[in-house]
């Protein structure tokens, strides 16, 4: 635990951040004209999200150069499949230790279904939220769902600050002592809101905003809206480029989030992956590795550069070296929905997702069926 003096200083600094934040209704570009209704892509979307997340889990918190060194040392550079500790020299392992929580369940030699992860817990919660409260759910409904279902020890950064504020009965859950409110947490919660509103990018973004504002502000909220827009478009579009085009309507055009997305797509238009990632790191490398702007740029880059192929797309998202599992989860959900998920990536999941939510392990097919029912009910 931190010393009392250090904790007091932290509180003083956090209090200095708590200036009032104006959050007007965001003005969005015109909605694209897309087909509506389910096309049966829900299973591939869930599977793709899980597989992408799983690929990034063992190297979460390891920077880009460490990921490359691990892959070169194990003969797997450039990344095109699961990570392995087999053949990894001891000095490399010591220099770049695997993610302590994830490595026992996310390396090629030990994968047995999809292990528990907040990148999957939150979409499961979103599914339950809409089933229980309908499309008119409120931010207060989201708060109650968290308190009823989320173990406090499995929430992090902005969500942990908001959870603490809920327990303290503070109404300003997103802003009080929450320096993480423009990080990636709300973005990882948003896919289901798009999957149940196929082709309705604005409708998906609206649902994501209601959820996100419990814990985030401004670009943190816009990141969730964009992810929901991507997920919505991925359920009906024929190419990933069409998905990226459609999702621009989910966020304010003048926002820093929109600029990050544009930068990521532009970087993908020229040069190889290494030079593209160099550009991203030069532009956004000053940000924390779980900030929303750098990770949104990576997601856009991976989607644009991956050519609609699942393996290359999620591999790019991971080798970028920021929030590896979260970025690859979002990318995997999009590319999985549009292009499908090959057996190499889907088979180790065994159709199962572990969770810390009440009720225990979930079947991916069941989650997909529930998602499809909501998509049909909302038409």
Query: The CATH number of the domain where 137 resides is what?
Result: 1.10.4080.10
In a domain, 28, yes or no: no
* The predicted structure's pLDDT at residue 19: 59
- pLDDT for the residue numbered 94: 98
Q: For residue 30, is it within any domain?
A: no
**Averaged pLDDT, groups of 10, the chain, 379 residues long:** 85 72 84 96 99 99 99 99 99 98 98 98 99 98 98 94 98 97 99 99 99 99 99 99 99 98 98 99 99 99 99 99 99 99 99 98 99 93
Which SS3 state, helix, strand or coil, does residue 193 take? Answer: helix
Q: 20 in a domain, yes or no?
A: no
Kindly state whether residue 11 falls inside one of the protein's structural domains: no
Considering the domain boundaries, does residue 23 fall inside one?
Answer: no
Residue 172: inside a domain: yes
Is 361 domain-assigned?
Answer: yes
> What pLDDT is stored for residue 84 in this prediction?
99
Could you tell me if residue 10 is inside a domain?
Answer: no
Look at the chain and report how many structural domains it folds into: 1
For residue 171, the number of C-alpha atoms closer than 13 Å in the C-beta half-sphere is 1
Q: Which domain holds residue 147?
A: 35-377
């Amino acid at each position: 635990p931190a010393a009392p003096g250090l904790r007091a200083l932290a509180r003083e600094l956090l209090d200095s951040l708590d200036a009032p934040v104006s959050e007007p209704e965001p003005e969005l570009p015109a909605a694209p004209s897309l087909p509506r209704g389910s096309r049966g892509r829900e299973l591939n979307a869930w599977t793709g999200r899980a597989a992408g997340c799983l690929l990034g889990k063992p190297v979460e918190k390891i920077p880009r150069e460490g990921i490359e060194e691990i892959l070169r040392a194990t003969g797997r550079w450039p990344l095109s499949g699961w990570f392995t500790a087999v053949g990894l020299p001891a000095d490399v392992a010591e220099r770049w230790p695997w993610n302590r929580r994830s490595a026992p369940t996310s390396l090629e030699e030990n994968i047995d279904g999809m292990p528990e992860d907040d990148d999957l817990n939150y979409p499961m919660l979103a599914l339950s939220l809409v089933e229980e409260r309908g499309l008119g759910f409120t931010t207060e409904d989201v708060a109650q769902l968290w308190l009823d279902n989320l173990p406090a020890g499995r929430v992090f950064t902005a969500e942990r600050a908001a959870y603490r504020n809920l327990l303290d009965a503070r109404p300003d859950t997103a802003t009080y002592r929450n320096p993480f409110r423009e990080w990636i947490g709300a973005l990882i919660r948003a896919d289901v809101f798009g999957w149940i509103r196929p082709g309705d990018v604005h409708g998906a973004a609206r649902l994501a905003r209601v959820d996100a504002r419990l814990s985030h502000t401004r670009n943190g909220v816009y990141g969730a809206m964009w992810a929901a827009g991507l997920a919505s478009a991925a359920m009906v579009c024929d190419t990933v480029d069409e998905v990226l085009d459609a999702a621009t309507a989910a966020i304010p055009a003048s926002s820093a989030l929109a600029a990050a997305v544009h930068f990521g797509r532009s970087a993908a238009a020229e040069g190889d992956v290494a030079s593209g990632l160099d550009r991203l790191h030069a532009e956004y490398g000053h940000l924390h590795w779980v900030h929303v702007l750098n990770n949104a740029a990576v997601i856009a880059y991976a989607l644009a550069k991956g050519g609609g192929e699942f393996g290359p797309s999620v591999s790019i998202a991971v080798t970028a070296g920021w929030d590896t599992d979260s970025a690859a989860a979002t990318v995997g959900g999009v590319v999985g929905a549009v292009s499908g998920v090959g057996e190499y990536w889907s088979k180790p999941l065994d159709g199962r997702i572990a969770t810390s939510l009440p009720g225990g392990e979930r079947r991916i097919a069941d989650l997909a069926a529930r998602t499809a029912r909501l998509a049909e009910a909302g038409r």
